[in-house]
Amino acid sequence: MADSSPITLELTGALERVIGRSHVTLHCSQEQPATELFRRLLHEYPALKLYLGRHDGDDSERFSWPRGFLLVRDSQMLPSSPDTIVYPGDRLTLIQMISGGVA
Amino acid sequence: MSHEISPTVPADSSVQRSMPELSEEEAETYAWQLDVRDFGVAGQARLKASSVLISRVGGIGSVVAYELAAAGVGHLILAHAGAIQRSDLNRQLLMTAARIGSSRVDCAASRLQEFNPRLRITAIPENVGPENAERLVGLADCIVDAAPLFQERLAMNDAAAAQGKPVVEAAMFELEATLTVIHPPKTPGFRDLVADVPPGWQRRFPVFGAVSGAVGCLAALEAIKILSGFAQPLYNKLLRIDLRAMRVETIQLRPDCPGAENDTGSPSPLRR
């Protein structure tokens, strides 16, 4: 994985519908916690806060992990943990686990 | 309040059961599937002795119920509140236009009984929630979860985990679907995958009946595999189906779960 390669994130289900795109790219110059990736995702696509944000609307410092979604890399679920690291060049998918989300 | 139709087999899954004999009528009805490799008469007898709770008989659950009734599962417990609406009819295949405004679960039960008169049906006009999950899960050997709300799924999975029962988890959105089996410790617990309810979640979503039908058939097959103890259920794996692009991906869940060890087949949860 080359440095400075963007991370490609595939969005499924309600997330894809909310922003009208199945894939987004997020700049990534070095390995970082997945929670940082989510924080930047919400910063660039604030419409996703409805589904990925916190109940209290605070996604700045204490944002943790999207509820009801699995983060997948190379057909493997990544642990829903603050210790999970993502890397430049990663191709990730956020998979919705439950029917529903947005009409 | 629930009512029963055609009781034929005991429902208490904690009871030691001997496998029932197949009648001539059953042997004739299931002749084509009795020849399925590794299934046979023993698998059919296990299905006959088994009970399945289906949480909601809507788009996914109605097809699950239909396929399990066709396969010869002995007892179906159907849980679904509310009355049939016209907008149900693009996907809820056990409902009829003539019965709009009447009970969904009663309509589903009568359609299933017409299809398979030997089937025992317990029709419960309630959705599964924290107040009834323990009782409803206690009626079944296996649960198929086709509910659209996180609260229902969490309550049912909590009860199933406490009672050591497998849950087939099926879900859909538009042209996408997911399917997995939850049965700790050989799989993650549902709360390991879905710890909490996301904010802003809505019950309504876009979908074709053909999508719910597709995932419903697959969910029914998972229940058949689990109950009859043959083939490879989706233990510790999640099937992701993208019907817009016709892509299917099998995702490994937790590497520390021993689900993969069951790839050569798994014992039926029925005690015998």
B178 and A14 within 8 Å at the Cβ level: the answer is no
Structural domain includes residue A46: yes
CB B146 within 8 A of CB B61: yes
Structural domain includes residue A1: no
pLDDT per residue over B94-153, tens digit each?
Answer: 999 999 999 999 999 999 999 999 999 999 999 999 999 999 999 999 999 999 888 999
Beta-bridged to residue B210, according to DSSP, are: none
pLDDT of A1 = 47
Structural domain includes residue A102: no
Q: Is the ipTM of this complex over 0.85?
A: yes
Structural domain includes residue A101: no
Report the pLDDT averaged over residues B17-24.
Answer: 87
Q: Are strands B176-182 and B167-173 parallel, antiparallel or unpaired?
A: antiparallel
Q: Does A63 touch chain B (CB under 8 A)?
A: no
| B94's tokens | 């056990």
Which residues constitute the domain of residue A73? 7-96
Q: Does A8 touch chain B (CB under 8 A)?
A: no
Question: What is d(CA B94, CA B74) in angstroms, rounded to the nearest whole number?
Answer: 19
Work out how many domains chain A is built from and give that number. Answer: 1
**CATH number of the domain that residue A83 is part of:** 3.10.20.30
Q: Which of B90, B205, B256 to mutate to test the interface with A (most CBs of A within 10 A)?
A: B205
3-state helix, strand, coil in chain A (%, to 5): 25, 25, 50
Structural domain includes residue A2: no
The DSSP code for B100 is T
A75 and B252 within 8 Å at the Cβ level: the answer is yes
Structural domain includes residue A71: yes
pLDDT band for position B261 (cuts 50, 70, 90):
low
A102 and B202 within 8 Å at the Cβ level: the answer is yes
Structural domain includes residue A42: yes
